[in-house]
Structure 1
Amino acid sequence: MTTTPPGHTLITGASSGIGAALAREYARRGRPLVLTARRVDRLQALADELSAQVPVEIIAADLADPATPSALFAEAQRRGLFVATLVNNAGYGVPGRYLSADWDTHARFLQVMLTAVAELTHRFLPSMEAAGHGRILNVASMAGLVPASAGHTLYGASKAWMIKFSEALAQESRPRGVHVTALCPGFTLTEFHDVTGTRDRVSRMSPGMWLDAAQVARAGVDAVEAGRVLCVPGWRYKLIRQMAKLLPDALMHRIVAARAKDFRDAE
């Protein structure tokens, strides 16, 4: 039986999609929230929705700014908030082949997807370990568990990094009472594909391949509470993960390359 840690749950990228679903799931479980994202209007709307269930703090922040992680931590400290659960959810994709975007675009992506995750974890983890309990839920992706395809070149690489980061951190922190989980959903019904301009492509996929954001959030929270290091929601994606482990690499690369045009812009 796990004990619910006191304190707040801080969720990055909470204004929509899986982040908003995670906020609703934690609110359903009675966890006070700290919600952060760039879009203040959406954050406020979500806070208004959930404040009848739990206390909700909002902090507008853009993780593409290298100064944001330290400023976010300082603001939480200033408000006297103990962050018992950190959810590193903020993320997006850069469509097209690697050289179709300039370096500044890639640099901002890496800041959000890697550096901010590492820094926020480094800043909030010590107080969890000092208290002897805590949770870190890193929202990765199936893209980090299967061979990469052309297009969105850094996305799969960033998610693979997040998975390995979570695995190592879980081993380090478990003896100190902190659970760390990498949540690896497949295609999920959010606005992600609208933002990346691939909605027309992915809409042609089988409906059975789509996960519901609430389903993903529930699976992720259950996993981190139970201390499971890796969470792959949905039986189809569990099967794909096993295929990726068992089939020869060359065959998996051919399969991914053949299907990539259905969900990736490689031009």
Structure 2
Amino acid sequence: MRKNILITGASGGLGRGMAWEFARRGRHLALCARRGDRLKELRDELLAAHPSITVAVRELDVTDHAAVFEVFHSFRAELGSLDRVVVNAGTGEGSPVGTGGFERNLRAVNTNFTAALAQCEAAMEVFREQHSGHLVVISSMSALKGFPGALTAYAAGKAGVLTLAEGIRADVMGTQVKVSTMLPGYIRSESNTHEGQRRLVVDTETGCRRLAAAIEREPARACVPAWPWSVLGVGLRLLPLRVTSRMGAVARRAEGPRARTAAADHAG
């Protein structure tokens, strides 16, 4: 059993929800995010509900790459080991390419891919020294296809971490280090209501419960929730680009410029 679990972007959204799910399973937690005050509140709530677990917290901006390595190693020293690291921190911001939003798109790619690489590097350093561990990368269903508008850079970054995790998995295949990629669909959270796709949305608690359950199985890849996203994922890869272009236009009209898939809401 993976006893000590590190989650980045844990102060809100999917990260916070996963923290609660693993606390209910009696796991010790190492939680980090930019919003230190919210992390401390979460720690206090978790310990009040589950006094037998340990909850360590650190304030961390994952785009500060040196700090990522420092925080991960300090968590390992405090808990004695890291058994699972969930690379969850991310951002959903973005603009259509060529419309003056380069800085926004650059932040999206730097956070969702480059910072994720730093987290994977730090986690794998620990796991290689321990000769065991479970690396979990939170990607997105949007990683499976190019999307228009505000989703373009976001989807590209999430496609990058999907491929990154697959390469790491190939590198450690046959060892005691496991690598899983999660592809969340529409999960409602504090800044993602998905009103335009109501029939496909699950609430935060249900979504995070299924996400934690999928992580516990340690698959190479999982769409979450499995139904209908495992089926939709196959169709998404096969759809002509003109169809996904229309889907993006519908999403923009329904939700405005912040339209995106649920995995965007885990910046912490």
TM-score (norm 1): 0.83
Give runs of aligned pairs for residues 44-63 of structure 1, distance below 5 A. 44-51=40-47, 52-63=51-62
2:101 counterpart residue number? 101
Deviates more, 1:80-89 or 1:250-259: 250-259
Give runs of aligned pairs for residues 37-76 of structure 1, distance below 5 A. 37-51=33-47, 52-76=51-75
Query: What are the Cα deviations for residues 139-164 of structure 1, in whole angstroms up to 9, with x where unaligned?
Result: 11111123312223310111111111
1:23 alignment partner, one of 19, 22, 26: 19
Q: Do the aligned partners of 1:12 and 1:90 also contact (CA within 8 Å) in 2?
A: yes
Whole-Å Cα distance in 2 between the matches of residues 237 and 12 of structure 1? 24
2:8 counterpart residue number? 12
1:178 counterpart residue number? 177
Q: How many residues align?
A: 252
Whole-Å Cα distance in 1 between the matches of residues 210 and 179 of structure 2? 14
Change (3 A) 1:223 1:208: same
1:258 deviates by 4.4
Whole-Å Cα distance in 2 between the matches of residues 55 and 130 of structure 1? 23
| Structure 1 stretches of at least 4 aligned residues deviating more than 4 Å after TM superposition | none
Deviates more, 1:175-184 or 1:71-80: 71-80
Calculate the aligned-residue CA RMSD, in Å.
2.4
Whole-Å Cα distance in 2 between the matches of residues 48 and 246 of structure 1? 46
1:196 counterpart residue number? none
**Amino acid aligned to 1:164:** T
Give runs of aligned pairs for residues 222-241 of structure 1, distance below 5 A. 222-234=213-225, 235-241=227-233
Deviates more, 1:120-129 or 1:253-262: 253-262
Query: What are the Cα deviations for residues 199-246 of structure 1, in whole angstroms up to 9, with x where unaligned?
Result: 6xx42x242221223333333333333231111123222232121234
1:243 alignment partner, one of 218, 226, 235: 235
By relative contact order (CA 8 Å, sep 6+), the higher-ranking structure is: 2
Deviates more, 1:164-173 or 1:15-24: 164-173
Whole-Å Cα distance in 1 between the matches of residues 200 and 189 of structure 2? 13
Deviates more, 1:221-230 or 1:71-80: 71-80
2:209 counterpart residue number? 218
1:265 deviates by 2.1
2:122 counterpart residue number? 123
Change (3 A) 1:14 1:257: closer
1:62 deviates by 1.2
Q: Do the aligned partners of 1:244 and 1:252 also contact (CA within 8 Å) in 2?
A: no
Whole-Å Cα distance in 2 between the matches of residues 207 and 260 of structure 1? 12
1:138 deviates by 1.1
Give runs of aligned pairs for residues 132-143 of structure 1, distance below 5 A. 132-143=131-142
> What are structure 2's unaligned runs of at least 5 residues?
259-268
**Amino acid aligned to 1:101:** G
2:261 counterpart residue number? none
Change (3 A) 1:174 1:121: same
What fraction of aligned residue pairs are identical, expressed as a percent? Answer: 25
> What are structure 1's unaligned runs of at least 5 residues?
194-198
**Amino acid aligned to 1:242:** V
1:114 deviates by 1.4
Q: Do the aligned partners of 1:166 and 1:180 also contact (CA within 8 Å) in 2?
A: yes
Q: Do the aligned partners of 1:37 and 1:59 also contact (CA within 8 Å) in 2?
A: yes
1:254 deviates by 4.5
Change (3 A) 1:86 1:218: same
1:46 deviates by 0.9
Change (3 A) 1:68 1:221: same
2:265 counterpart residue number? none
1:36 counterpart residue number? 32
Q: Do the aligned partners of 2:182 and 2:221 also contact (CA within 8 Å) in 1?
A: yes
**Amino acid aligned to 1:12:** T
